[in-house]
Amino acid sequence: MSDLAVDPSCETFVLNMGPQHPATHGALRIKLVLDGEYIVEAEPVLGYIHRMHEKMGENRSYLAFMPNTGRLDYLSALSYNHGYVSVVERAAGIAIPERAEYLRVITVELNRISSHLLWLGAFVLDLGGFTPLLYTMDDREQLLDLLESVTGSRLTYCYFRFGGLYNDVDDNFGPGARAFIKRMRRRLPMYHKLISKNVIFRQRLEGIAPVSAEMCRKYGATGPVARGSGIAYDVRKHEPYSVYPEFNFDIPVYEQGDSMARYLIRMDEIEQSLRIVEQGLDKLPPGPIMAVKVPKIIKPPKGDYYMAVEAARGSFGIRLVSDGSATPYRLKLRSPCLSNLSLFGEAARGLLLPDAVAFFGSLDLVIPDIDR
């Protein structure tokens, strides 16, 4: 790297990456100060797609806000559904049937796999590889067919309800899910051969944009970004919720902290999610999917409540302040994408512009989740 890249007296110029740049996958602008092709400063500029979800949550009933959760991180919508219904159930003291809890976990983990598959195809496409996108979309379509048969949707899911689920799975869901698990386990070695072992791909990622564990803590990064930097934190293990304590799965962790580590974390997480889904199908109990006597109008007691879940991109937290009425007094949404983006400016300094694109892709950001 040139010494001029960090010398404030050097001749620099400003380049806007976005807000309509294909590599940002959304309306995000990054203001880059460059010395040649080296980045001196990088400043994310937000607000191009802000929709005021938190304010909406304070102006409608608890049930009416439910569809909004699928419009935040729309690639991990079921995790966000899960977090929202869980914090309201905690506040209102609603007990959830065991079968509903198992089906929540199963569908959330299938949604996590579909999110990682879309990220994988788009990530490699940003680096110049088109073929993997065709494979990932093929696998993801099989998965979306499965989830659509249960939830009625393919992207912005609104499947969970306070006290349970919208509807039960049919007789074809179990065999279909097991067939997908078998298919995906056959495909993972192919992905590693096609992508992970590709020398060009590795050179684009190995040693690029190392993020230290301290930097992750400084900016509050979670999920695969933090686990790729050696922080073995996963809400499902460290702040257990739902029936996750009943499942046996590992937390993939890599110490390198580079873009390759963040890629490998998500590839390993696909296998771990397959393990969870398989165990869930084996243990799925009979019984109802909805709690009895759930009030039609939810009015939690006055109080301050918090709930976090492990979404595809990290810890998604909801702080709910109730004044005892039918609408929340305050609804604060803690986005994993916002904290993960926050470290980009510091970590990108000194990078070549093409390497910054690879680094940005390795963060796996959903822009509407940031501009919520």
Confidence class for position 327, pLDDT limits 50, 70, 90: very high
How far is Cα 93 from Cα 299, in angstroms, rounded to an integer? 11
Does residue 36 lie in a domain region?
Answer: no
pLDDT over 50 (residue 1): no
Confidence class for position 2, pLDDT limits 50, 70, 90: very low
How far is Cα 184 from Cα 188, in angstroms, rounded to an integer? 6
Q: What is the reported pLDDT for 50? A: 87
Q: What is the reported pLDDT for 20? A: 79
How far is Cα 241 from Cα 149, in angstroms, rounded to an integer? 26
Does residue 307 lie in a domain region?
Answer: yes
pLDDT tens across 229-280, in order?
Answer: 999 999 999 999 999 999 999 999 999 999 999 999 999 999 999 999 999 9
Picking from 2-11, 32-41, 49-58, which range would have the lowest pLDDT averaged per residue?
2-11
Q: What is the reported pLDDT for 18? A: 77
Does residue 9 lie in a domain region?
Answer: no
pLDDT tens across 276-307, in order?
Answer: 999 999 999 999 999 998 999 999 999 999 99
Does residue 26 lie in a domain region?
Answer: no
pLDDT over 60 (residue 126): yes
Does residue 100 lie in a domain region?
Answer: yes
Element (H, E) at 13: strand 13-17
Q: What angle do CA 215, 220, 221 make, to 5 degrees?
A: 75
Q: Which domain holds residue 168?
A: 51-370
Confidence class for position 9, pLDDT limits 50, 70, 90: low
Does residue 254 lie in a domain region?
Answer: yes
> Which amino acid is it at 224?
P
Picking from 16-30, 123-137, 292-306, which range would have the lowest pLDDT averaged per residue?
16-30
Average pLDDT, the chain: 93
Average pLDDT over residues 28-40: 91
Q: What is the reported pLDDT for 5? A: 45
How far is Cα 249 from Cα 247, in angstroms, rounded to an integer? 6
Element (H, E) at 309: strand 303-311
Higher pLDDT, 136 or 7: 136
Q: What is the reported pLDDT for 7? A: 57
Number of domains in the chain: 1
pLDDT tens across 163-195, in order?
Answer: 999 999 999 999 999 999 999 999 999 999 999
> Which amino acid is it at 336?
P
> Among all chains, which residue has been given the structure tokens 């010398």?
7
CATH code of the domain containing 83: 1.10.645.10
Query: CB–CB of 359/41 below 8 Å?
Result: no
List the strands of the sheet with 314-322, edge to edge. Answer: 303-311, 314-322, 330-334
How far is Cα 179 from Cα 186, in angstroms, rounded to an integer? 11
Tell me whether strands 330-334 and 38-45 are parallel, antiparallel or unpaired. unpaired
How far is Cα 351 from Cα 297, in angstroms, rounded to an integer? 53
Does residue 10 lie in a domain region?
Answer: no
pLDDT over 70 (residue 356): yes
Does residue 345 lie in a domain region?
Answer: yes
